[in-house]
Amino acid sequence: MIKSKLTTNKFYTYAGTIVKLKKINKKQNKIYIEKLDDGSTVEMPYEQHELILYRIYTVGEVAKIVEKRADTIRKYEKKSLIPDAKKFGNKYKGYANWRYYSEDDVYIMVEFFNTRVPGRPIVKEKNIKPLAQKVQMKIKDSNVRTK
């Protein structure tokens, strides 16, 4: 499902900015990340990296995790059934229109798709009418036509 180990060429958040992991050197206890906003490389200790680096996922990565297509993810997002993606933003050259999800968002989507019954359309609750109300509407409709 979701891997918690560091992976090169994946995106993370670090000190309020988005970074890309470039290199892992466990023998020297170092990892190298590239800041996407200015292109600089930062060296940091490998130990306890989970305290400062938080994994973020692109829509394509989320689609692989939940075993759906990326356009399916976007469709449910537009219907407000799953969390909205955040955009990288203009300060990240080349990635301005890229969208990402936090790990918490991914867990919510996994739960959503696992509990969903295949083949059944998703309808918002306010559009669902009870059977009694449908019958009354049918009776009113037929009374109007007979008069």
List of domains in the chain: 11-126 (1.10.1660.10)
Would you state the structure tokens that stand for residue 104, as one six-digit string? Answer: 């918490």
* Cross-strand bridge partners of residue 102: 56
**CB contact at 8 A, 98 and 87:** yes
pLDDT at site 127: 54
97 φ, ψ (degrees, to nearest 5): -95, 0
Summarised one tens digit per residue, pLDDT across range 41-66 is: 999 998 888 888 999 999 999 999 99
Nearest partner of 68 among 15, 116, 5, judged by Cα: 116
29 φ, ψ (degrees, to nearest 5): 60, 45
- Once rounded to an integer, what is the mean pLDDT over residues 29-47? 91
What's the predicted TM-score (pTM) here?
0.73
Would you state the structure tokens that stand for residue 75, as one six-digit string? Answer: 């469709």
Summarised one tens digit per residue, pLDDT across range 77-135 is: 999 999 999 999 888 888 888 999 999 999 999 999 998 877 766 665 555 556 666 66
Residue 101: its H or E element: strand 99-102
